Amino acid sequence: MALERELEVPGREGSALLARRNAAVARGVANGPPVFAATASGAGLNDVDGNAFLDFAGGIGTLNVGHAHPEVVAAVKAQADRFLHTCFNIVMYPGYIELAEKLISLVPGAWPKKVMLQTTGAEAIENAIKVARSATGRQAVVAFEGAFHGRTYMALSLTAKAPGYKSGFGPFASEIYRAPFPVLFRSPQQSEEACADVAFAEFTRQIEMEVSPEAVAAVVIEPIQGEGGFHVAPASFLRKLREYCTRHGIVLIADEIQSGFCRTGEWFATEHSGVEADLYTLAKSMGGGMPIAALVGRADLMDVPKVGGLGGTYGGNPLSCAAALATIAVMERDDYREKARRIGAIVEQRFAAWAQQYAVVGDARGLGAMRAIEIVRDRRSQEPAGDIAAEIVDAAYRRGLILVKAGFHGNVIRFLGPLSLEHDQLERGLDILGEAIALVEARHKPLARSA
């Protein structure tokens, strides 16, 4: 199919809103394309100027069931008719308990579990570290290169990307150590297994020479890195990490904020390796678009902080609990794990073909429907090309497809479209993205010839 006519984005109303946004909103708040939503449903979004878009960004992975799923909306409306807020720490309500019980039944772990609800993924990370330090009596925390865990101070300390996230905001939390993440792309190791072995050997060397295992409270890892570029932790690496943490009494924290709730073809990404973390941090698609997060983990760890040590005014808000319960019910009934596998297979095939077809597509990777392509200057050098990735995203959105980038250099284009996508929507969106790549590569013809 030929590339469609470019949309007039922003149009008159959008331009007026953009001027108001620039006058009223802090400069540090980043935005994607100049699109202002008017309505959204499923995988579709309409802006204030009447333009229609397909959404492959999904609120950065918060909309696995799609925009405004009718059952989620109905649950929120029904709860709003009852009451909006009490603060669970002051007056309790059934929805919080029901959601905690449901999460206990879903989250991996062959041990008794307990739950604390929050509003954001960063809050879940903050509380996970509090629980781990309280339970172990230790201070050191190990995170990984390429990690993103949030923007509050402990979460930001664990995050690996300084430009745009950390620069100028220090000092950060102490006793944070950084280990290598097993990234196969550009690695001198030729196999995933060898890459995992080298990364794990360096992990153990760092801990045993720089910290000592007896001082480490927790290791926190994304089974699939989100902002870091959709690098998948090999199953062997996660299993070795689990064994090491068990042997040394270290709390293993799985950050499943972006990879959870069926995105990878299982409820949680650690299930692909058979690894059970001690604590899980959850958020994003759990609420179907409403703000909610959770810390779920071993009851013996979760019960260590004293009464009053864990809490928050809006944690587990009644509206968000209702939304989360409805969202999970939809995912269970409609088998969203299978939806992710089916969508993921189509995306995987298309991305792999582009990696062969286009010189600017250096790598295609991911798991289930959590997939990405890495954009490079050319195949020979594999130099990251954030500018070319930005051109591709721009060309796509001007033709009705919303995307989101990732990676240290901003050169990774990730697929986070709703798992409720219709087949024709998926194919149409991929067509637009593929032709946007072709269009942009044609602007850089010397690159194509040099490959």
- From residue 208, give the alpha-carbon distance in Å to each of 41, 143, 203: 51, 15, 9
CA torsion, ordered 438, 384, 370, 51, to nearest 10 deg: -50
Total residue count of the chain as it appears in this document: 451
The C-alpha atoms of residue 385 and residue 412 are separated, in whole angstroms, by: 9
Can you name the CATH fold of 70-333? Aspartate Aminotransferase; domain 2 (3.40.640)
Asked whether the beta carbons of 384 and 409 are under 8 A apart, the reply is: yes
* pLDDT at res. 4: 56
The C-alpha atoms of residue 37 and residue 74 are separated, in whole angstroms, by: 21
Residue ranges matching CATH 3.90.1150.10 in the chain? 12-61+335-450
The C-alpha atoms of residue 188 and residue 182 are separated, in whole angstroms, by: 11
What tokens appear for 301 in the block?
């760890």
**Residues paired with residue 44 on neighbouring β-strands, in sequence order:** 41, 54
* pLDDT at res. 306: 97
CA torsion, ordered 309, 128, 120, 313, to nearest 10 deg: -10
Task: Find all residues with CB under 8 Å of 346, minimum gap 6, and list them.
Answer: 426, 427, 430
The C-alpha atoms of residue 424 and residue 422 are separated, in whole angstroms, by: 6
* pLDDT at res. 163: 85
The C-alpha atoms of residue 56 and residue 372 are separated, in whole angstroms, by: 11
The C-alpha atoms of residue 384 and residue 146 are separated, in whole angstroms, by: 15
The C-alpha atoms of residue 138 and residue 211 are separated, in whole angstroms, by: 11
With a cut of 70, list the residues of the chain below it in pLDDT.
1-5, 446-451
Exposed/middle/buried for residue 151 (C-beta within 10 Å: 0-12, 13-18, 19+): middle
Q: Residue 418 has what DSSP assignment?
A: -
Backbone angles phi, psi at 415, to 5 degrees: -100, 115
Helix, strand, or coil (residue 365): strand
Cβ neighbours of 328 (radius 10 Å): 24
Give the residue among 118, 111, 173, 18 at the shortest CA–CA distance from 320.
Answer: 118
What tokens appear for 49 in the block?
């100027």
Helix, strand, or coil (residue 281): strand
CA torsion, ordered 128, 264, 108, 234, to nearest 10 deg: -80
**CATH homologous superfamily of 12-61+335-450:** Aspartate Aminotransferase, domain 1 (3.90.1150.10)
Exposed/middle/buried for residue 52 (C-beta within 10 Å: 0-12, 13-18, 19+): exposed
Residue where the block lists tokens 């609990």: 321
What tokens appear for 16 in the block?
């007026």
pLDDT tens-place string over residues 5-59: 688 889 999 999 999 999 999 999 999 999 999 999 999 999 999 999 999 999 9
Helix, strand, or coil (residue 122): helix
